[in-house]
Amino acid sequence: MSADFTGRRVVVTGAGKGIGRATALMLARRGARVVALTRSGADLETLKAETGCETIVVDLADAQATRAAARQALPADLLVNCAGTTELESFLDVSVENFDLLYAVNTRAPMIVAQEYARERVAAGKPGAIVNVSSCASFVDIPDHAAYCASKAGLDGLTRVMAKELGPKGIRVNGLHPTVTLTPMAVKAWSDPDKAAAMLGRIPLGRFAEPDDIAEVILFLLSDAAAMVHGLSMPVDGGFMVA
Ligand code: NDP
């Protein structure tokens, strides 16, 4: 049975497109009051028209703006750190600018948003749950993804420490690791048919994920059905990790 989020306020970053948008829509369908954060105002307008959610435009590469947006979004019962970005470069060509950008958006921003969320929950004496959307790329080498793999591995480190420190305060924290998921990011990263075919060949279930495949598991990890699930790095990958 699907979890009911009626009356629960949930912050979702990266809610404009792809997995974040699918998550925001699914949460709204299941009763949540969603607070959607992302960069493109136009995406938020259409999401608001569909769901009536609250919206905050923010560039998560900007640490100060990220902290201000996180504070504006609070208080919230639950948090999904989903926003992410990538740039394809071979290791020898990784630029410092792109490395810093990916680190800022994929690693530092989730930390800042989670800090603000968790401080508020702890001060209010209330429990909570956080899902950090990582990637199979934090476990597995993927050529041309050096900065991305590093940024997601950094996020995993944060997730583990957050689980250790926030668990005793009543806040569950889990990481979720999608395989290739059919979103605008996947178009950017996997439009080369040879690379896509090789990747698909490593997925025993024989397909890439749809955004709703990932959103369903995010909602499970947020829900009370996952009350004893904590500190997990959960692949949602059609078996990619065991292939
Ligand atoms: P999309 O590119 O489709 O959507 C990403 C969302 O994050 C967009 O709304 C985007 O806004 C927002 N975002 C990106 N950069 C910023 C920024 N600087 N400030 C604010 N918002 C920003 O990505 P996916 O839905 O595919 O990815 C969602 C998460 O899942 C990411 O963390 C990604 O790393 C992870 N993931 C994705 C996989 C895939 O194959 N798709 C596989 C494994 C993990 P805007 O468009 O305005 O920039």
H helices of the chain, in order, are 18-29, 41-51, 63-73, 96-103, 109-124, 146-166, 184-190, 193-200, 211-222
Pick the atom of ligand 1 nearest to 40's CA.
47
Q: Which domain holds residue 94?
A: 9-233
Report how many domains make up the chain.
1
In this predicted model, what pLDDT tens digit does every residue of 67-84 receive, in sequence order?
999 999 999 999 999 999
* Per-residue confidence (pLDDT) for residue 100, from 0 to 100: 98
In this predicted model, what pLDDT tens digit does every residue of 204-216 receive, in sequence order?
999 999 999 999 9
Tell whether 183 is covered by a domain: yes
Ligand 1 contact via 138 beta carbon (within 6 Å): no
Q: Tokens at residue 157, please?
A: 């480190």
Tell whether 73 is covered by a domain: yes
Which positions of the chain have pLDDT values less than 70? Answer: 1
Contact 108, 84 (CB under 8 A): no
* Per-residue confidence (pLDDT) for residue 1, from 0 to 100: 66
Tell whether 240 is covered by a domain: no
Q: What is the CATH number of the domain that holds 173?
A: 3.40.50.720
User: How many angstroms separate the CA atoms of 33 and 171, rounded?
Assistant: 19
| Dihedral over alpha carbons 38, 73, 163, 108 (to 10 degrees) | 40
CA of 37 to the centre of ligand 1 (A): 12
Tell whether 4 is covered by a domain: no
* Per-residue confidence (pLDDT) for residue 141, from 0 to 100: 87
Tell whether 64 is covered by a domain: yes
Tell whether 145 is covered by a domain: yes
* Per-residue confidence (pLDDT) for residue 190, from 0 to 100: 87
- Ligand 1 atom 25 nearest Cα: 18
ipTM, two decimals, is 0.99
Tell whether 1 is covered by a domain: no
Q: Check 148, 164, 188, 195 and give the catalytic one.
A: 148
Tell whether 102 is covered by a domain: yes
